Structure formats: structure tokens, C-alpha cells
Amino acid sequence: MSNLTRRQFLGTAAAAAAPLILPSGALARTNRRGANDRIVVGYIAQGDMGGRLMRPMSIEMEPVGAVCDVDQKRLEDGAAWVKEEHGVEVDCYADYRRVLDRQDIDAVVIATPDHWHAVQAVHAMEAGKDVYVEKPLSRTVAEGRAIVDAARRYNKVVQVGSMGRSLPGVQQIATYLRNGEAGRITRVECWRGANPVGENTPDEAPPDHLDWDMWLGPARWRPYNPSLCHYNFRYFMEFGGGTLRDLGAHALSQALMYLDADDYGLVRVSATGRPPDKGVYDNPAELEVTWEFTRPELTMTWKQPGDRDGDGVIYHGEHESIRVSSMTGRNATTDDHVMEYEPPADGVDLRTPSEFSQDLPHYENWFHCIRTREQPNMPVAAGHSVATLCNLGNIAYLLGRPVEFDPATERFIGDEQANLLLTCPGRGPWRI
């Protein structure tokens, strides 16, 4: 692929482009569908997660309709990979709105930093696209609500990237716990190592290949800093919300699945933490959060660092405690009797039917639901419930005191100061 010009990168070319035509056999794979049955996908962001999503999805499943990134180097890398793998020149955009303008694109994958998720997901659904959005769903409770409402309004399939819910090990453990084999779960412990502490890197001019203003998008304007962009945005409260919102979106997603508690009731949240003693990161180096639920009646904790080595989750039931080996869900295992469990004929079985068990079940589930209009394994309402818990933990930490949250109203009870933190106004045109 020839290098993109600066003008092409900044999106001044025509908004619409011709549909992507794939040469015969370019995507030939076992069990591939015919061309008329394929879902053409646009990939918004080509960084760490964007690349990890596009490559397996497009190799095994559906064609790439367009790639998008505000970093010209990443955009060129993504396009070059499509050319090498699929033998086609794919259309490239620096502005995600140009992807949404394409009438031949059926769905989009959003793998941008957290502060972009809500704006892009809502705009995509307004443009008629189904959506796969990386976890966490949102950076504020109000943003999550906007995505849920848009999915209902436009009747779109939204799969949130907490992929554990589609993985066999997680489904097996969920089947065991949901059949009550461990008894009522009264306490859940999650732990992880301390958050990283960054360096005192100075602000500087952004590199020429990066559209910094577009990278910031709905976030408040601030000077470019190499410790913020790209990957380390996770350790800034405004952008990534720390490991609690990053890996916590995996751990808490599984917890709510195991407990059948996506629709939880009133919750009291307290948090303590130690801010970093140096560097530009503002996420706490150490953090402990406690959620006290009224429905279901149980306590959940998140500790960084934990009382045990490594990371993990333990579910304490009336009959036994189950330790799950993986916070993300990949290769999740626990005791043999759980992993070998077969539910009774009239019991709960959350395991995916074998005809849908592929090497990439979360993606396959999304594509299946686009065709059938069923709810995906990690639906948008569940993603909102999970992201809300993560955001409540960060709010309790920032306030330095407990808060009480009512999911029915999505407001804190008698705490207007805390309610101010439920939303974050967008910058410029990036409002929903």
C-alpha cells in the first residue's frame, strides 16, 4: 500500500466511498458464508485492541469494509495488514464519521480509548450500524445510559467486549454456581497488583502522524503528553479510570453473570486509596473498593494490591468457596468437580450450544445476533451495569467517603455532590 498523504489522513477526501469488492476466494475459509450473507465491518481504531479485534474477526468471519485511526502510522499498519491478508486495498479514514457515512458497512467495531466509546457508539447506531464496543462500556454513568437508550431506540445489536461471558470456562463455572451448588454466594473477593506509577514526563508537541485534537475528542483539551497516549490513557481517571475500570470490567462482568445480578438493587460503595507519589498518572497506585448490595444481598471487594499473590476472584458460598483462575475469563478454571459438572435436566445450563462454539465465540456470537436480532452474550444493558459499578468505585475514591446509589433512578441518594460526577460534558461537537 502506498503511504497516505497528510490531506487524505485528515479526512478531507470525499465522505463516501465505493463498496469494498473482494476478489473471489480472498476470504475463503472453512464454513465461510456466501458474499450476499456477509456482514461488512468498519474498524474504528487500529491500536492494541483494535488490531487484536480486526485480525481474528476478519480472518475467520466477515470482510473488512474500512479502517479508521487518528494516528496515521497505525492506520497505515492496519491497511497494510488487510492488503497482505485479504489482497485488497481497504478504504482508510482518520475521522470515524466517514466510516459511518458508508452505506455498504453494516456494523462497526469500536476499540478507541474509553472517553470515545459513548459518542461513537451512539453515532454509529444513529447511522444504522450494529456495534461491537470494547469494554468498559463508558467512562460515566450518564454515557452508559445514553448507549443503552440508543440501542433500544434504534433496535441495534450491541456486544460489549467483556468476552468472558462467551468463553467455555466461564460458562461452565456460571452453570455450576447458578444451579446453587455452592449455596448462596455471600461474598466475592477480587484482587490485583498495584497500579503502575508513571514518570514525570513533560508535555510536548504531538507527533506529526497523530491528530491530537481528534484523539482528545469529547475530553477536555490538554497538551499532548507521551505518557498519556496511546496505551497509558488507562492510568488517567478522566480517560481510562485505572485498572478498576479496565480489568474490573472483566472481573465484575463475570461476577454479575455468576450471580444472575445484572439487574442489581441499591448498592452502598466505599473506597480508599493511595495516590501516586510521582509521575503524571492520577489513578491511585493502591485502591480498595467495597460494594454492599441489597439485591442480591452480598458484599464484593476489589483490592490493589490484594492479600494474595497475583490476581484472582473467590466466590464464597454457603457450602463452599470457589476460586476462579482468570480475571479476564481466558482459560478460566477452578476445582475439577466444578469444571466437570453436568447440570440436572431441569437446571440452568449457560454453556454455548456446540454449533456456536468457535475459536472466537464472542465475535461469532455478535455476528450470529446481528443476523437473528437476538440479545448477545454481553448485551449493552449488562455492560452498563458493569461499567456503573466500576465508575461508582472511582467516585467513592475521589470523594473520600461512602456513597449510596439507586440503579432504578441512576442517582446517588441525598448526595448532590456525588451526582455531579455521574456525567462529564463533551467538548465541542462531541456531545450526545
Neighbours of 399 (CB within 10 A): 17
First to last CA, the chain: 36
Q: Which residue has the cell 457450602?
A: 319
Is residue 356 included in any domain, yes or no? no
Q: Which range marks the domain in which residue 79 is found?
A: 6-165
User: Omega before 296 cis (within 30°)?
Assistant: yes
pLDDT in tens, 90-109: 999 999 999 999 999 999 99
Whether 49 maps to a domain, the answer reads yes
Cell 497538551 locates to 223
How large is the average pLDDT for residues 341-355?
91
Is the pLDDT reported for residue 9 higher than 60?
no
Q: What is the per-residue pLDDT across 231-279, written as a single tens digit (0 to 9) for each?
A: 899 999 999 999 999 999 999 999 999 999 999 999 999 999 999 999 9
Residue 367 lies in a domain: no
Q: Residue 357: pLDDT band by 50, 70, 90 thresholds?
A: low
Q: Are residues 116 and 251 in the same domain?
A: no
Domain co-membership, 146 together with 220: no
Structural domain includes residue 430: no
The CATH number for 160's domain is: 3.40.50.720
Report the alpha-carbon distance of residue 391 to residue 138 in Å, rounded.
Answer: 9
Contacts of residue 395, defined as CB under 8 A and 6 or more positions apart, other chains included, come to 269, 403, 418, 421, 422
pLDDT score of 14 more than 60: no
- Asked if 56 and 157 sit in the same domain, the reply is yes
Instruction: Tally Cβ neighbours within 10 Å of residue 319.
Output: 10
The DSSP result for 381-395, as a single string, is HHHHHHHHHHHHHHH
* 139 and 224 share one domain: no
Residues 226 and 138 in one domain: no
Q: What average pLDDT does the structure give for the chain?
A: 90
- Over residues 125-151, the pLDDT tens digits come to 999 999 999 999 999 999 999 999 999
Specify whether 109 is located in the same domain as 201: no
Residue 414 has pLDDT above 50, yes or no: yes
* Contact (CB, 8 A) for 304 and 323: no
Q: Are 259 and 252 in contact (CB under 8 A)?
A: no
Residue 372 domain-assigned (yes or no)? no
179 and 133 in a single domain? The answer is no
Q: Is the pLDDT of residue 318 over 90?
A: yes
Total domains present in the chain: 2
Q: How far apart are CA 123 and CA 23, in angstroms?
A: 31
- Please report the pLDDT score of residue 373 as a whole number: 97
Contacts of 32 (CB under 8 A, 6+ apart): none
130-133 and 158-160 as β-strands: parallel, antiparallel, unpaired? parallel
Q: What percent of the chain has pLDDT over 90?
A: 78
Q: How many helices (H) and strands (E) does the chain have?
A: 14, 14
26 in the same domain as 158: yes
Provide the whole-model pTM: 0.91
Domain boundary among 132, 165, 198: 165
| Nearest residue to 311 (alpha-carbon basis) of 189, 402, 226 | 189
Beta bridge partners of 93: 68
| Predicted confidence (pLDDT) per residue in 158-193, tens digit | 999 999 999 999 999 999 999 999 999 999 999 999
Could you tell me if residue 225 is inside a domain?
yes
Domain check: are 77 and 181 in the same one? Answer: no
Q: Would you say residue 23 has pLDDT above 70? A: no
Task: Indicate whether 173 and 282 sit together in one domain.
Answer: yes
Last residue in a domain, options 136, 165, 194: 165
Rounded CA separation 55/231 (Å): 19
Reply yes or no on whether the pLDDT at 29 is more than 60: no
Residue listed under C-alpha cell 476466494: 25
Measure Cα distances from 411 to 340, 367, 422 in Å.
Answer: 42, 35, 8
Average pLDDT over residues 25-40: 52
Q: Is 54 in the same domain as 174? A: no
Band (pLDDT 50/70/90 cuts) for residue 328 is: confident
Region 409-421: mean pLDDT is 98
Q: Quick one: pLDDT at residue 353?
A: 79
SS3 328: coil
**Which pLDDT belongs to residue 284?**
95
Burial 253-287, CB ≥16 within 10 A → b, else e? bbbbbbbebbebeebbbbbebeebeeebbebbbeb
Q: Does residue 353 form part of some domain?
A: no
Same domain, 232 and 244: yes
C-alpha 4/C-alpha 76 separation (Å) is 7
Q: How many percent of the chain have pLDDT more than 70?
A: 90
- Binning pLDDT at 50, 70 and 90, where does residue 50 land? confident
Helices 361-372 & 48-60, crossing angle to 10 degrees?
Answer: 70
